[in-house]
Amino acid sequence: MKRLTILLRDQGTALHTGKQMREIFGEVARVKVVIAGPMVAEGSVDADLVVISRQMEELIRYVRPGTRVLVADRAVNPDQVRRLFALPADSDVLVVNTTRELTEEAIEQMELYEVEGLRYHPYYPGIREYRKNCPYAITFGEMDAVPPGEYRSVTDLHSRLLSMEACVLIARELGLYEQLRGTLTAGNIRPMIRLTQDLAKLHIKYAHTSEDLQKIIALMEDGVLVLDQQMRPIFINPMAEKMLGSGEGRLRALVEELRAHGEDPHFFHRTGSDSYYVERISSSGGRERTTIVMLRDVKKIERIENSYRRALTEKGLAAKYEFKDIIYRSAAMGELIQTAREFARGESTVFLHGESGSGKELLAQAIHNASPRRNGAFVAVNFASISLSLSESELFGYADGAFTGARRGGRKGLFELAHKGTIFLDEIGDAPLELQKKLLRVIQERKVLPVGGSKLIPVDVRIIAASNQDMGALVERREFREDLYYRLNVLPLYLPPLRRRREDILPLFSHFLKEFRVDGGELSRQVRTEIEDYPWPGNVRELRNVAEYVSNFARFDPNWPDRLPGVLHPLSHSDGAREAQEGQGTQEAQQETDDPRSVRAVLELLDRPPYRFSRQVLTRELAEEYGLSLSESQVKGLVGRLKDRGLVNAVTGRGTFLQAAGQELLRRWRAREKQL
Ligand SMILES: Nc1ncnc2c1ncn2[C@@H]1O[C@H](COP(=O)(O)OP(=O)(O)OP(=O)(O)O)[C@@H](O)[C@H]1O
- Mind listing the pLDDT tens digit for each residue in 82-100? 778 778 777 899 999 988 9
DSSP structural state of residue 9: S
The CATH number given to whatever domain includes residue 604 is: 1.10.10.10
* Domain extent at residue 272: 223-299
Indicate whether 62 belongs to any domain: yes
Average pLDDT over residues 494-513: 93
What is the per-residue pLDDT for 633? 84
CA distances from 57 to 7, 19, 105, 371, 612 (A): 10, 22, 16, 85, 40
Whether residue 575 has pLDDT greater than 50: no
Q: Which of 320, 330, 337, 361 is the pocket-test mutation for ligand 1 (most atoms within 8 Å of CB)? A: 361
* Shared domain check, 656 and 545: no
Indicate whether 485 belongs to any domain: yes
The CATH number given to whatever domain includes residue 86 is: 3.40.50
Indicate if the alpha-carbon torsion angle 631, 636, 641, 646 is positive or negative: positive
* Shared domain check, 340 and 235: no
Indicate whether 656 belongs to any domain: yes
Q: Which atom of ligand 1 is nearest to the CA of 427?
A: 25
Indicate whether 231 belongs to any domain: yes
The CATH number given to whatever domain includes residue 442 is: 3.40.50.300
Last residue of one domain, picked from the residues 299, 332, 366? 299
Give the C-alpha separation, 650 to 642, whole Å: 10
**Whether 636 contacts 628, CB under 8 Å:** no
CB-CB neighbours of 263 under 10 Å: 6
Average pLDDT over residues 607-614: 81
Last residue of one domain, picked from the residues 568, 594, 610? 568
* Shared domain check, 445 and 405: yes
Highest-scoring range by mean pLDDT, 169-178, 229-238, 418-427:
418-427
Give the pocket of ligand 1 (CB within 6 Å): 326-328, 354, 356-362, 426, 468, 508, 540-541, 544
* Shared domain check, 408 and 553: no
139 forms beta bridges with: 96, 156
Residues 7-45: pLDDT tens digits?
988 777 788 888 888 888 888 899 999 988 888 899 999
CB-CB neighbours of 44 under 10 Å: 10
The CATH number given to whatever domain includes residue 554 is: 1.10.8.60
What is the per-residue pLDDT for 272? 72
Highest-scoring range by mean pLDDT, 153-162, 391-400, 425-434, 481-490:
481-490
Last residue of one domain, picked from the residues 456, 475, 495? 495
What is the per-residue pLDDT for 637? 87
Q: State the total domains in the chain.
A: 6
Residue among 481, 477, 386 at smallest CA distance from 434: 481
* Shared domain check, 415 and 376: yes
* Shared domain check, 187 and 320: no
* Shared domain check, 420 and 339: yes
Residue type, 475: V
Q: Which atom of ligand 1 is nearest to the CA of 363?
A: 18
Q: Which of 351, 362, 510 is the pocket-test mutation for ligand 1 (most atoms within 8 Å of CB)? A: 362
Q: CA dihedral in degrees (6, 7, 13, 16; nearest 10)? A: 10
* Shared domain check, 174 and 248: no
For β-strands 612-613 and 655-658, DSSP reports them as antiparallel
* Shared domain check, 272 and 232: yes
Collapsed DSSP state (helix, strand, coil) of residue 593: coil
Highest-scoring range by mean pLDDT, 253-262, 500-509, 542-551, 642-651:
500-509
Could you tell me which residues come within 8 angstroms of residue 284 by beta carbon, excluding any fewer than 6 positions away? none
Residues 42-89: pLDDT tens digits?
999 999 999 998 878 889 999 999 999 999 888 777 777 777 877 877
* Shared domain check, 563 and 518: yes
Whether residue 286 has pLDDT greater than 70: no
Report residue 580's pLDDT band, with 50, 70 and 90 as the boundaries. Answer: very low
The residue contributing the CA closest to ligand 1 atom 31 is 362
Indicate whether 136 belongs to any domain: yes
Q: Which of 321, 383, 541, 543 is the pocket-test mutation for ligand 1 (most atoms within 8 Å of CB)? A: 541
Residue type, 448: V
* Shared domain check, 539 and 514: yes
* Shared domain check, 228 and 324: no
